[in-house]
Amino acid sequence: MNESIQKEASRQGNQRLLRVHVVVGITFSLFMYISVFFGIFAIVLPYVSAWEKPSKHYAMPDIRNINYSAMIDPVLDEPDYPMINGVQIRLPGYLGNPSLTISAPFTKRRIFNPNTNEEVKNEGKQSQLAMFLNHMHYGRPLKDFGYWLFGFVAVAGLFLVVGGVVLVLVKKFNDTGKNAQSRFSKWHRKIFTWVFPPFIIITLTGALMNIGWTMSMPMTYVVSKGETFQEWKLTNPVLFPDLPRIEKKNDIVPMLKMNELIKIAQKINPEINFNKIILINWKDSSAQVKLEGYNPYMPFLNGTSNDPSVTLKGIDGTLISQQKVMDKHWSGLIYDSTMFLHKLFGVDTFTRFFVVFIMLISAFALGFGVLLWLEKKAKVFPKDIPVYQGMGKLSLAVMIGVIPATGLLFVLQWILPFDMQDRFLFQKGMFAIFWIGTYTWACYKINSYETAKQFLKIASVFFIISPFIHFYSSGFSPVRLWNENMGNILGVDIGLFIFALILFYVSVKLPNSRDEAQKFWTRIL
C-alpha cells in the first residue's frame, strides 16, 4: 500500500516538474534562443571585428619584427597628449587584432598598422557590428533592463537544464513515436543531455555577469558591516586594482626605447605573451612601464582579472616588480577559471569552433522544444484548417526572422559609407525595423511554413551578397586577401557564403504545409 502511495507521489512529482519545465521553458525559450544565436557570433567576434573595419585590413605582423618605438614614441611626444591618467597600448595580436592601439582617457584612440608603422583612420563608433552582435547576446541594447532580463533568462536556463536532466533520469519517455511531436521531444532531450555540462557553466557565468553582481547588494551590505552595498567597491581592489599613483619628479628625461623595454620584460618572464602596456608618468624620471599579458601555459587561471605582468623603470628598464599567474589572490584565480569557459579568452580557433558547434546544436534543441510545445497546441486545430497561433507567429519571427535581420546588418556594414552621419544608429535601426517587419509579415501570412521558407531565402540572399559587397567596397578581392595573409578576414567571407548556401538549401527542403511537415520531421529526425 505504502509502496503504491510512494509511486503515485513520485509520479505526480515528476508530472509537476515536467509542467513547470514546460511553463518556464516556453516563457524564456525565445530569449534563450536570442542569447544563444548571438552568442555564436560573439564567439567568432575577433574575426567579425577584423572583417568589419577598414582599419584592420592588413596581415597580422610578425611580432619579432615590429618597430614599436616608431609608432608609440611620436604619439607620446605630442605636447597635448593626455598622460596624467596613464597611457594604454594594446599590442598586435590581442583577440586577433593585427593593429597597435594607443589610448588614454579624454582623447581619441589611435590605431597603427604595425606592418608599415603608419597611423590608420579610426572608425570609432561608426563601425560597431561585432560589438552590437555581442551586445545582443546579453541584452545590452535594452540597457539595465536588458541586463536583468537576460540575467534571469540565464537563471531560468539553469533551472531548465538541471530540471530537464532530472526529468530524463526519473521519467520514462517514449522515443519510438512516429509523429513530429515525438521526434521533437526526443531530440530536445537528446541534445540537452549531451550538452548540459558546458551549457550549465555558460549559463551560470552568464547569470553571474548580468545579475550576480547587482543581486549581491544585500550580501555586500552585510559583509561590509553597512559600509557599502556596491559590490565593486569590495571586489575591484582585489580583482582589478587601480594603478598606484606615483608622485612625479617634474623633470623631463629620455625613456628607454619601447622595443628594448619589451625585450627586457620578455627575458624576465618568457612565459607571458604580452598584449598590453601601461605607461605611468611617462618622460618623468619616476616613469614606470607595466607590461601585462596572458600565460598560455596556465589556461583557466589568467586572462580575465588576472593579468600576469612585469613592471619596469621607464628610464633604464630596471625591474620594479612582477606578478606571476599564481601570485593573484585566490578569489581572482577562481573568478578567472569560472569566466574562462564563457569568455573563451586566449583559446585557439579549433576550441572556438567547438563551442560554436555546441551553441549551434543547443539552438536547435531550443527550437525543437518550442516546436514540441507548438505541435501540442496545434492539435486543437482541425487538420484541414491552417494553424494560426500567436506564440507560433512570435516564435517564427524571433527565431527565423532574426536570421535575415542579422544578414541585413552584414549587408549594410559595407554598403553604408563609413563617414555617414549616425551610421551605426541607422544600421541597427534598420535591423530592428526588419526584425519587427518579419513579425508583421508572419502575422499577415497565414501559412507559417511558407513564411519560414521566405525568411530563410531572404537571409540566404543577404548573407551571400555580404562577402561580395565587402570585396567591392573594401577593394580587397579574395585573392588579395589571401596573398596579403588576411586569412581571418577571408574566412569570414567564406563563412558567410557557406552559411548562405546552407540557408538556401534548408529553405528549399523545408515543408510547405502541415501535412508535409509531419512527413518531413519524421523522416529527418
Residues at the interface with other proteins (CB under 8 A): 80, 82, 84-85, 104-108, 124-125, 142-145, 245, 381-382, 384-386, 388, 390, 393, 422, 425-426, 429-430, 432-433, 436-437, 439-440, 442-444, 446
CB 439 within 8 A of CB 394: yes
Nearer Cβ to other proteins (274/455): 455
Radius of gyration from C-alpha coordinates of the chain: 27
CB 83 within 8 A of CB 104: yes
Q: What is the spatial distance between Cα 120 and Cα 362, in angstroms, rounded to a whole number?
A: 40
Using the minimum distance from each CB to other proteins, give the nearer residue, 356 or 430.
430
Return phi, psi of residue 90, to 5°.
Answer: -95, 125
CA–CA dist 217, 232 (Å, integer): 10
Q: Which CB atom, from 93 or from 392, has the smaller least distance to other proteins? A: 392
Between 152 and 497, whose beta carbon lies closer to other proteins?
A: 152
CB of 45 to other proteins, least distance (A): 22
Shortest Å distance, C-beta 81 to other proteins: 9
One DSSP character per residue, 348-371 reads -HHHHHHHHHHHHHHHHHHHHHHH
Closer to other proteins by Cβ: residue 1 or 380: 380
Cross-strand bridge partners of residue 273: 294
Please say which residue, 51 or 431, places its beta carbon nearer to other proteins: 431
CB of 83 to other proteins, least distance (A): 8
Choose among 122, 76, 73: nearest CA to 97: 122
Instruction: Give the Cβ contact number of residue 240 at 10 Å.
Output: 12
DSSP H/E element including 143: helix 143-170
Min CB(420)–other proteins separation in Å? 11
Closest CA to 190 of 173, 211, 215, 212: 173
Find the shortest distance in angstroms from Cβ 143 to other proteins: 5
What is residue 96's DSSP assignment?
Answer: G
Cell of 440: 508583421
Residue 197 vs 241, nearer CB to other proteins: 241
Q: Judged by CB, which is closer to other proteins: 140, or 171?
A: 140
Residue (of 130, 139, 141, 137) closest to 44 by Cα position: 130
Beta bridge partners of residue 309, listed in sequence order: 292, 323
Q: Which cell numbers in the block locate residue 197?
A: 555540462
Is the distance from CB of 507 to CB of 453 less than 8 angstroms?
Answer: yes
**Smallest distance from other proteins to CB 233, Å:** 13
Distance CA 241, CA 256 (A): 26
Cβ of 389: how many Cβ atoms within 10 Å?
Answer: 15
Shortest Cβ 521–other proteins spacing (Å): 23
Which CB, 89 or 160, lies closer to other proteins? 89
Three-class SS of 172-232: CCCCCCCCHHHHHHHHHHHHHHHHHHHHHHHHHHHHHHHHHHHHCHHHHHHHCCCCCCCHH
By C-alpha distance, which of 496, 503, 435 is closest to 136? 435
CA distance 201 to 178: 35
Q: In angstroms, what is the minimal distance from the CB of 153 to other proteins?
A: 17
Min CB(422)–other proteins separation in Å = 5
Residue 145 CB, nearest approach to other proteins (Å): 5
Least separation, in Å, of the C-beta of 130 and other proteins? 19
Q: Report the alpha-carbon distance of residue 119 to residue 71 in Å, rounded.
A: 8
Q: Give me the half-sphere count of Cα atoms (radius 13 Å) on the Cβ side of residue 189.
A: 20
Nearer to other proteins, 254 or 382 (CB): 382
Of 270, 273, 342, 255, nearest to 304 (Cα)? Answer: 342
Cβ proximity to other proteins: between 19 and 125 the closer is 125
Q: Which is nearer to other proteins, 297 or 426 (CB)?
A: 426
Q: Which is nearer to other proteins, 214 or 285 (CB)?
A: 214
Q: Nearest distance from residue 149's CB to other proteins, in Å? A: 11
Contact by Cβ (8 Å): 139, 147: yes
Q: CA-to-CA distance for 76 and 121, rounded, in angstroms? A: 18
Least Å from the CB of residue 125 to other proteins: 7
